[in-house]
Chain A
Amino acid sequence: QDTIFTHDEL
Chain B
Amino acid sequence: MNLFRFLGDLSHLLAIILLLLKIWKSRSCAGISGKSQVLFAVVFTARYLDLFTNYISLYNTCMKVVYIACSFTTVWLIYSKFKATYDGNHDTFRVEFLVVPTAILAFLVNHDFTPLEILWTFSIYLESVAILPQLFMVSKTGEAETITSHYLFALGVYRTLYLFNWIWRYHFEGFFDLIAIVAGLVQTVLYCDFFYLYITKVLKGKKLSLPA
Q: What are 24 A-B pairs at a CB distance below 8 A?
A: A3-B175, A4-B111, A4-B177, A5-B111, A5-B112, A5-B117, A6-B54, A6-B56, A7-B47, A7-B50, A7-B120, A7-B177, A8-B56, A8-B60, A9-B5, A9-B162, A9-B165, A9-B180, A10-B9, A10-B12, A10-B60, A10-B63, A10-B64, A10-B67
A7 to B5, CA, bound (A): 13
Complex: chain A residue closest to B47, CB-CB = A7
Consensus secondary structure, chain B interface: helix
Q: Which residues of A contact B120 (CB under 8 A)?
A: 7
A8 to B5, CA, bound (A): 11
Quote the shortest CB–CB distance from B58 to chain A (angstroms): 13
Number of interface residues of A (CB under 8 A): 8
Q: Which residues of B contact A4 (CB under 8 A)?
A: 111, 177
Given contacts A8-B56, A9-B180, 18 further A-B pairs with CB under 8 A are A3-B175, A4-B111, A5-B112, A6-B54, A6-B56, A7-B47, A7-B50, A7-B120, A7-B177, A8-B60, A9-B5, A9-B162, A10-B9, A10-B12, A10-B60, A10-B63, A10-B64, A10-B67
Number of interface residues of B (CB under 8 A): 20
A2 to B64, CA, bound (A): 21
Interface string of B136-166 (1 = CB under 8 A from A): 0000000000000000000000000010010
Q: Which residues of A contact B111 (CB under 8 A)?
A: 4-5
Q: Which residues of A contact B12 (CB under 8 A)?
A: 10
Q: Which residues of A contact B64 (CB under 8 A)?
A: 10
Quote the shortest CB–CB distance from A8 to chain B (angstroms): 5
A2 to B67, CA, bound (A): 25
Quote the shortest CB–CB distance from B94 to chain A (angstroms): 28
- B162-212 interface with A by 8 A CB criterion: 162, 165, 175, 177, 180
A9 to B120, CA, bound (A): 12
What are the 6 A-B residue pairs with the smallest beta carbon separation, nearest first? Answer: A8-B56, A10-B63, A4-B111, A10-B9, A3-B175, A7-B120
